Amino acid sequence: MSKWLRNSFIILVTLFTFGVVTPSQAALLYDSSYQDRSPKKDHIEFLHTEKNYSQNDDEVSFLDGREEFIKQMVKEAECQSYEKFGAKIKPVIEDEFNVCILPNIEAAIAEIAEQYPEEDLKKLSITESPAGGNSEKIFHILNDETKEDVIRFHVRRDHPPQQGYWFNFHFHTYHDDFQKHHELGAIYWDKNTPPKWMS
C-alpha cells in the first residue's frame, strides 16, 4: 500500500471517529479513568474532540497541495513536540505520543486545512519555538498575513489527588477566541513530579 494511500486512510478513519465522545462525556470518562485504574506508565487516556463528521468516502477528496500542507505541518508539529518534551520527558512518552496524540493532532490540522482554499494554505505557518518550564504551549499555527493565530496546541500537567501526573494534550481555535479546550488525549507520567519542559 503506498504511503499516500495509507496516510489518506488514516486521515479518513480519524475524521470519521471524531465526535464519538462529546466534551461532557469526555470529562466524565477522564475523571472516572483516574478512579477506575491504578496508574502505570503504559496507561493512556484517549479522547476525541466533539467535532462530528458524517461524510461518505466519495465526498472526501484531498488535493495534492492540501495533503502536502497537512504532511508538512504534522512533521513540524512532531519536531516542535519533541523539542518541548526535552531529553528527560521524550524517551518516556514518545511511543504513547506517536500512537495516540499525534494522529489527533493530524486530524485537527486536517480539519483546519479543510476550512481554507488550497491557495490560502500557503499563508499558514507553524511557530518555531515551544515554551519551556511549566508553560502549556507546544506550537501554534498562524496566518502569516494577519499575524494572528488560527489554532493553538498545548499540553497541561494534570495532578488529580493520589493519581500521579498526567499530560493533557488539547488545542484551542480562533472560532471561540481560544476559550474552549478540544481534547487530544492524555498520557500518564508517574507519581513523581515531571521535569520542566525542554529540560
pLDDT tens by residue, the chain, 199 residues: 555 555 665 665 555 555 544 444 444 444 444 444 444 444 444 443 333 444 444 434 444 789 999 999 999 999 999 999 999 999 999 999 999 999 999 999 999 999 999 989 999 999 888 999 999 999 999 999 999 999 999 999 999 988 999 999 999 999 999 999 999 999 999 999 999 999 9
**DSSP H/E element including 65:** helix 64-96
Strand-strand pairing, 148-158 and 165-173: antiparallel
The pLDDT score that the predictor gives to residue 181 is: 92
Assess if residue 90 is contained within a domain: yes
Assess if residue 160 is contained within a domain: yes
Assess if residue 108 is contained within a domain: yes
Assess if residue 170 is contained within a domain: yes
The pLDDT score that the predictor gives to residue 9 is: 56
Assess if residue 40 is contained within a domain: no
Domain ranges, residue 69: 64-192
Exposure string over 86-115, b if 16+ CB within 10 A, otherwise e: beebeebbbebbeebbbbbbbbbbbbbbee
Q: Structural domain tally of the chain? A: 1
Assess if residue 117 is contained within a domain: yes
Distance CA 180, CA 186 (A): 17
pTM of the model: 0.69
Assess if residue 137 is contained within a domain: yes
Residues whose CB is less than 8 angstroms from the CB of residue 85 and which lie 6 or more positions away in sequence, other chains included: 93, 94, 97, 197, 198
Residue 85 identity: F
Assess if residue 181 is contained within a domain: yes
